[in-house]
């Protein structure tokens, strides 16, 4: 039995009541949920997984619990919430799902001006992932990893990874892949994770491998068409906002330093597909 103060116990009871109702109003399962969350039993509540499309209240109650207790009690409750939420709810753009709530705010993209609350962001995320694996199981994590990588791959293939905030989905996928391939997180099928990682573009594989030399090389390869020609339309923000002489000077310097074998041609137009 896990020990907790009355405030935490009250939040657990609230979570159990809401979770039971979100699953089914016909049968009250709150007592078995409480027993598992509080560690009175290791018997997981008998509830069918991936069947609840609307568990917003459950995830909200889980998040409130996490603000008071961020240990085993929270991750036991999180395992139940993750087990219940359907794939439909997991991929819903509205609100936070249980998986993300358990992994924590530091797992999400927060931009260049963002700041982690932890002095060791990756270490904290790894610790949380291990707890999720302990209570929710390896398959829960691998299922979410597949979903995120599949989503990222679709964004790359459809040239939509840089629009409408979709870049966050790409970063979320990369973050989870990066965590799962760490040597101190044990998975029965590590090869499956590495195979999923290999489908990401080389640019992102170099980022995760922290290989600065290969990353620079790949970046120069990718931008070469933009250096050698013109981008038409609204995508070319540089030509619309910067002076033409300034752009000519910078282009010449870039070609001289990194692309001595190419020649700029104003008649060469870079297509929209190539630009993206």
Cα–Cα dist 136/73, whole Å? 13
Report residue 231 as tokens: 């981008």
Report residue 132 as tokens: 């999720």
Q: Give the pTM.
A: 0.84
The residue extents of the domains of the chain are 1-103, 107-210, 212-275
Q: Which class for 93: exposed (0-12), middle (13-18), buried (19 or more C-beta within 10 A)?
A: exposed
Radius of gyration for the chain, computed over Cα atoms and rounded to the nearest angstrom: 24
β-bridge mates for residue 85, sequence order? 52
**Least confident segment among 9-13, 197-201, 262-266:** 262-266
Q: Where are the alpha helices (DSSP H) in the chain?
A: 6-23, 30-37, 56-68, 72-84, 87-90, 98-103, 121-136, 138-157, 167-180, 190-198, 202-209, 212-228, 237-241, 244-258, 272-275
Place of tokens 């870039």: 254
Pairing of strands 269-270, 230-231: parallel
- pLDDT per residue over 123-173, tens digit each? 999 999 999 999 999 999 999 999 999 998 888 888 766 666 678 888 889
Exposed e or buried b per residue across 197-220, where buried means at least 16 C-beta atoms within 10 angstroms of its C-beta: beebeeebbbbeeeeeeebeebee
Report residue 31 as tokens: 């007592």
Statement: residue 236 has pLDDT above 70 = no
- pLDDT per residue over 42-83, tens digit each? 999 999 998 888 899 999 999 999 999 999 999 999 999 999
């Amino acid at each position: 039995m896990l020990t907790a103060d009355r405030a935490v116990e009250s939040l657990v009871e609230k979570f159990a009541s809401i979770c039971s109702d979100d699953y089914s109003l016909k049968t009250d399962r709150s007592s078995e949920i409480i027993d598992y969350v509080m560690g009175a039993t290791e018997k997981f509540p008998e509830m069918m997984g991936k069947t609840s499309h609307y568990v917003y209240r459950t995830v909200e109650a889980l998040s409130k619990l996490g603000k008071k207790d961020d240990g085993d009690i929270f991750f036991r409750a999180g395992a139940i919430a993750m087990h219940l939420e359907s794939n439909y709810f997991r991929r819903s753009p509205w609100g936070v799902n249980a998986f993300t709530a358990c992994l924590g705010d530091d797992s999400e993209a927060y931009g260049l001006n963002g700041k982690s609350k932890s002095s060791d962001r990756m270490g904290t995320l790894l610790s949380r992932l291990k707890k999720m694996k302990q209570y929710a199981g390896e398959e829960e994590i691998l299922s979410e990893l597949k979903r995120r990588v599949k989503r990222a791959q679709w964004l790359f293939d459809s040239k939509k990874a840089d629009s409408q905030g979709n870049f966050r989905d790409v970063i979320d996928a990369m973050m989870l892949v990066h965590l799962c391939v760490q040597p101190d997180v044990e998975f029965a099928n590590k090869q499956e994770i590495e195979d999923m990682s290999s489908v990401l573009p080389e640019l992102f594989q170099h980022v995760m491998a922290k290989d600065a030399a290969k990353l620079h090389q790949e970046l120069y390869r990718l931008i070469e068409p933009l250096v050698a020609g013109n981008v038409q339309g609204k995508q070319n923000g540089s030509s619309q906002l910067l002076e033409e002489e300034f752009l000519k000077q910078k282009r010449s310097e870039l070609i001289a330093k990194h692309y001595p074998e190419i020649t700029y041609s104003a008649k060469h137009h870079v297509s929209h597909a190539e630009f993206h």
